Chains A and B, each alone.
Chain A
Amino acid sequence: MQPDAVHPDLGALVPRGHPAEHLMALYQQADASAAAALVDLLSPQLYRFFASQMGSTNEAEDMLQEVWLRIHRVRHTYRPGEPVLPWVYAIAHRVRIDNYRKRNRISSREVGTDVLPELQVQNDQRTDLPPFDEMVATLPESQREVLVMLKVNGLSIEEIACATATTPGAVKQKAHRAYERLRSLLKSATPKQTEPKGVAQ
């Protein structure tokens, strides 16, 4: 995957629509200010994408660096004029999967030496409904990702399907399962103190 000489007709293909598309086309032409502007434009939402799923800001920072390294390495695969967000989130999706596997590998080799504190959601003194992050953390990994892309990053169903290499129907199914699970969780979390806590699935 060696970067080659710049495409002579690229100027004619400079895209319309999202500002990131224009910046990405210029970044492919080695425009330093466009590259910096693209990082400033996309980093906050990529960071939120990772932080909402990983729950750790340090890990999200590492993953943000990782995703930009990968974007830089495969920037020639972006086609000028096409939507940039599915392309970026497809790379972010893979970074998240790799990190998730790495985390599982590490945790499978670690031996616990102390009792971990209980999650906040199980605190008996809470009367309010759990916030977004706590609710989302209870979802399976793939449903959580779809929900974060939809509601935190504002992607459409079609864009999520492209980013996760699946079909819009499969994305809708995952979103539906996530909402059903949230409904069950919220039902058990509403201030009826007599009801048992936990996932009513």
Chain B
Amino acid sequence: MTCRDMDGVINSRSRDSALPPEASEHIGRCERCREVMRVLIEGPEIRQPSESGVRLIHGSLLRDLRPVRPLAPSSVFLAGFAISFLAVAVVGSIQLHAYGWNVLSVSAKIVVFASLALGAGALALSMARQMRPGSKYSVSPNLLPAGVLLLVAVAMMAVFHSREEKAFVSSGLRCLSSGLKYVIPGAVLTWLWLRRGAAQSPKLMGATIGGFAGLIGVTVLEVHCPNLNLYHILVWHLGVLLLSALGGLALGAAVGVVGKWRHYRSESSYRLRPAR
């Protein structure tokens, strides 16, 4: 057994549990692991909160105690996000016309729209989990928006190739503004579903909502835009996704600051009130 193997033993060991024989043998000859075990098992000195502090908490909670309805299951929110996504994407595609859809081959349609659906599904799942503190994650929610951007970029690179394009900037800006036009209603509809949740990091939730709404904009553009130039798609179509995720991050940060300010203002009276 090595010191690295001992980490697993230390992780799972409590004050009362016995050591496995291999771990005991390792401890016998490794002084560093022995000392780490000793310090961690002994732990800190036992401290207790003051009685007056706990009484104050009792008084405050009981003063404002009303029944609440637990949050609906995640499946309800996932269905809501899917409806929001499809509603805005369908309306956008009808308004802008499906020129892009008509020029894509069947295999290109499958790769492009499957990657968009996969990305949207992953972000929707992340949002549903962020609504509830202490949810389980298989992928870190901090990395997910960037991961989705990368996934969609790779899918686009697999399908499209570089082509000559004369009005790269002017046609690109038209696509960017068209895409961003559908990001805002997508984000608002998504937020309507999320508002009952308790996201612990408004910045992260903002970036995730922004990424999700950005994918709605990209979907509308992929249905509408007949330009098959890879660089046009990477810069201007995925630019919608990037800008909306960054916008969401900034908005989330602002919401977090305002929320804390409001919270501390309303809370200041709480700290001064004695328990009843």
Contacts and interface: CB of A to CB of B under 8 A. Distances in A.
A77 B132 contact: yes
A163 B134 contact: yes
B195 A65 contact: no
B43 A77 contact: no
Contact of A183 (B36, B45, B67, B260): B36
A122 B35 CA distance: 19
Interface in B76-106: none
Contacts of A61: 49-50, 53
Contacts of B46: 48
B36 A186 contact: yes
A122 B247 CA distance: 47
A167 B139 contact: yes
Interface in A143-201: 147, 150-152, 154, 156-158, 161-163, 165-167, 170, 172, 175-176, 179, 182-183, 186-187, 190
Contact of B70 (A32, A79, A157): A79
Interface string A67-81: 011001111111110
B258 interface: no
B188 to A, nearest CB: 17
Contacts, number: 202
A72 B197 CA distance: 14
A39 to B, nearest CB: 5
A186 B67 contact: no
Interface string A119-141: 00000000001111101100000
A133 B43 CA distance: 8
A115 interface: no
B170 interface: no
B7 interface: yes
Contacts of A80: 70
Contacts of B32: 183, 186-187
Contact of B47 (A47, A76, A170): A47
Nearest to A159: B134
B254 interface: no
Nearest to B132: A77
A10 B70 contact: yes
A76 B68 contact: yes
A32 B65 contact: yes
Contact of A69 (B60, B65, B67, B130): B60
B200 to A, nearest CB: 4
Contact of B35 (A133, A166, A167, A186): A186
A46 B247 CA distance: 35
Given A1-B195, A129-B35, A154 B70 contact: no
Given A47-B47, A93-B200, A94-B201, 8 more contacts: A32-B62, A35-B62, A36-B61, A76-B68, A86-B133, A130-B39, A172-B11, A175-B10
**Nearest 7 interchain pairs by C-beta:** A86-B134, A90-B133, A74-B198, A87-B134, A6-B67, A3-B68, A76-B68
Interface of B: 3-4, 6-8, 10-12, 14, 31-33, 35-36, 38-50, 53-54, 56-58, 60-62, 64-71, 73, 130-142, 195-198, 200-201, 204, 260, 263, 267, 270-271
